[in-house]
Structure 1
């Protein structure tokens, strides 16, 4: 009878921990881009692809946000992005990869240019790139600055 009780207790503990194991298999990573440098932009996209490939081999899920602000916003501008085709391809291949554009930076660039600036269709506008990174880190996201 004691063995049966121990088995039942062990099974209950194992089942209660199963959701924790499932959560541990989703990695959430924020990439920070604040430079108008094609090398940095390409390295970021390479890092994202490598990260996804590594965790896919492990059977794990990955959520990625590429957060751009300051000069890094050029990564997501229709008129100046040197990596637009790669971003379009990645968005098609990886639904868990999103690209965030800082609205503070966008507004400043538009004031300076004197007209609206179009972003890539893959870009999501967030109020502040810096605040987005802080919020993600406070939520437990890993932070990478290539």
Structure 2
């Protein structure tokens, strides 16, 4: 009986491995620096490529707030083309979260609504979103 339990445990572990794991990663951008933005996007692509090569999947959420929100501002983002391409390539496994607090502040300062790229989804608070993601098992990366 002990042998059968060992075999059953091995088969269950092997099956889980064969199906691959799902990893969750939160990437944080809070600087209006094209190098930091590009590094964050490089991290996203490299993580995706690595887990794909392992037969695993990865769900990534890039959260931008403060000066980093410029990453998502329509007509102003220095990485707009990369965001659009990566969004198309990675689909639902990549989310771009924009801080609503920062967006309201930017709009107030500009005297009009600041438009974000269509790929960005507004979340009430970027900091709170990062906390929620980590509480839900996401690994945290800050380039």
Quick check: TM above 0.5?
yes
Structure 1 Cα separation of the partners of residues 79 and 71 of structure 2:
7
Q: TM-score, normalised by structure 1?
A: 0.88
In the TM superposition, residue 140 of structure 1 has moved relative to its aligned partner by 1.2
| Structure 2 unaligned residues grouped into runs of 5+ | none
Of 111, 117, 124, 1:127 maps to: 124
CA contact (8 A) 2:20 2:57 kept: no
Q: Counterpart of 2:95?
A: 98
Q: Counterpart of 1:48?
A: 44
Q: Counterpart of 1:140?
A: 137
Q: TM-score, normalised by structure 2?
A: 0.90
Greater C-alpha radius of gyration? 1
Structure 1 Cα separation of the partners of residues 81 and 10 of structure 2:
46
**CA RMSD for the aligned pairs?**
2.0
Task: Tell me the matched-pair count.
Answer: 142
Structure 2 Cα separation of the partners of residues 72 and 115 of structure 1:
19
| Structure 1 unaligned residues grouped into runs of 5+ | none
Cα 1:23–1:129 shift into 2, 3 Å:
farther
Q: Deviations over 1:29-87 (max 9, x none)?
A: 00000000001001110111111111111111000000000000000010210000100
1:84 and 2:84 are equivalent in the alignment:
no
Q: Counterpart of 1:112?
A: 109
Question: What SS does the corresponding residue of 1:94 show, helix, strand or coil?
Answer: helix
Structure 1 Cα separation of the partners of residues 135 and 15 of structure 2:
22
5 Å matches for 1:1-40? 5-10=1-6, 12-14=8-10, 25-40=21-36
